[in-house]
Structure 1
Amino acid sequence: MNSNLSAIGPSFAYDTRDSATQPHRGVMLSANWLFGLRALGDSYSHDKLQMAANSYLPIGAGTVIALRGALCAAGGNAPYYDLCLFGANNDLRGYVTGRYRDKASWATQAEWRQHVSGRWGATAFVGLGGIAPSAGTIIDKGKLLPAGGIGLRYRPFRSNDVQLRVDLAAGKDDHAVYVGIAEAF
């Protein structure tokens, strides 16, 4: 079966971070609410709300506490591939992408980022989230999902703040290794 996703809606972003790739201070708030309309060619009549808030707090030379909260809610006749899920957006690292997928999800994370020496850094992170059949049932019918892990950072260039990262993470039933450029959030 062929299908199309065509959605339109408002989007909001507010960013006071000192760096997009390796923030040490500031906040990043974002939200978008997209409506899939048949008039635009969408095969489904659904909407999807996604919100996230990140905060970065320097607590000493070379140490940053990074905090993140995220919420997702899909309504109407949302297709399987546009439901809320864990594993794709670095919310709750340690879960296979899409294993936990439903019409509502939430996640909170805290990360300790430490410069170690020269171009090297390390991180430790914990998170807790949930997945549920609807936003209204997150509390009473939601499934709690814990996560945590450690990571290593390397800054290959002295002239900018881009860094490479490797994170080892564990979730409730899963574990994963993440390799990427820039911080997870």
Structure 2
Amino acid sequence: MGLRWRFADSRWKNPRGDVDQVAAPPEEELDSTLSMIGPTVSYDTRDSALQPHSGTYAAATWLVGAGFLGNSFGHTRLQVLGNWYVPMRKTTVLATRVATCAVTGHVPFNNLCDFGSGADLRGYESGRYRDRASWAAQAEVRQHLGGRFGGVAFFGVGGIAPSFGHVLDDSTLLPSAGLGVRYQPFRKNDVNLRLDVAVGWHGPGLYLGIAEAF
């Protein structure tokens, strides 16, 4: 457990001078500072942080907007997640994940709960869905195919809502599914390069990264 500080300084400018064709943030957020601090706690029994085959990882972080640190907005943000990894066979791993986010107070547009920029719900453009609460559940089967190659199949569902109290009755449901290929570039380093194709409500998305999505 420990203390986390999140800081972001935003200065927005429209280089074309045409506000009708640019999705600008609210005027009060064009020049603003995000400065939040709070406790974080995690529990980790994974056999590997980058390529887990078994174990559990859980974490929770609660951040509060700190005016004395220069924060422009009075709000809080809570994030909770849990990942579980179960070896089904010697070459097969089932990975599952649940995650939730909730914000309260005067929340700036760029600190709302959203999808697309983290490990939850591949297949959605970053920030297209954002609100004061979100949740997601995912499952992924990871299969070693031979040599340095592997493959994955994954499915998830999540939702976005105007508040955490309305998650059950007023969520926008967002499904996600896809397939991926894994390649281990170094034999002595248990880290894969990943290429995933995921499909959400609005078509496919292509993802290239280092290590697993979660």
Deviation at 1:174, TM superposition (A): 3.4
Where does structure 2 lack aligned partners over 5 or more consecutive residues? 1-29
For residues 12 and 172 of structure 1, the distance between their equivalents in structure 2, rounded to whole angstroms, comes to: 34
Corresponding position of 2:191: 162
Where does structure 1 lack aligned partners over 5 or more consecutive residues? none
Single out whichever of 35-44 and 115-124 deviates more from structure 2. Answer: 35-44
Aligned residues: 185
For the residue of structure 2 that corresponds to 1:4, the secondary structure is strand
Corresponding position of 2:90: 61
1:68-99 deviation digits (Å, cap 9, x = unpaired): 00000011001000000000112000000000
Counterpart amino acid of residue 151 in structure 1: G
Of 153, 169, 175, the residue aligned with 2:182 is 153
For the residue of structure 1 that corresponds to 2:139, the secondary structure is strand
Q: Is it true that 1:112 corresponds to 2:141 in the alignment?
A: yes
Corresponding position of 1:90: 119
Task: Identify the structure with bigger relative contact order (alpha carbons < 8 Å, sequence gap 6+).
Answer: 1
Deviation at 1:37, TM superposition (A): 2.1
Q: What percent of counterpart residues are identical?
A: 55
For residues 76 and 25 of structure 1, the distance between their equivalents in structure 2, rounded to whole angstroms, comes to: 39
Deviation at 1:175, TM superposition (A): 2.0
For residues 142 and 93 of structure 2, the distance between their equivalents in structure 1, rounded to whole angstroms, comes to: 5
Corresponding position of 2:31: 2
Counterpart amino acid of residue 150 in structure 2: G
TM-score by length of 2: 0.85
Corresponding position of 2:205: 176
Of 32, 54, 61, the residue aligned with 1:25 is 54
Corresponding position of 2:73: 44
Aligned counterparts, 1:123-134, within 5 A: 123-134=152-163
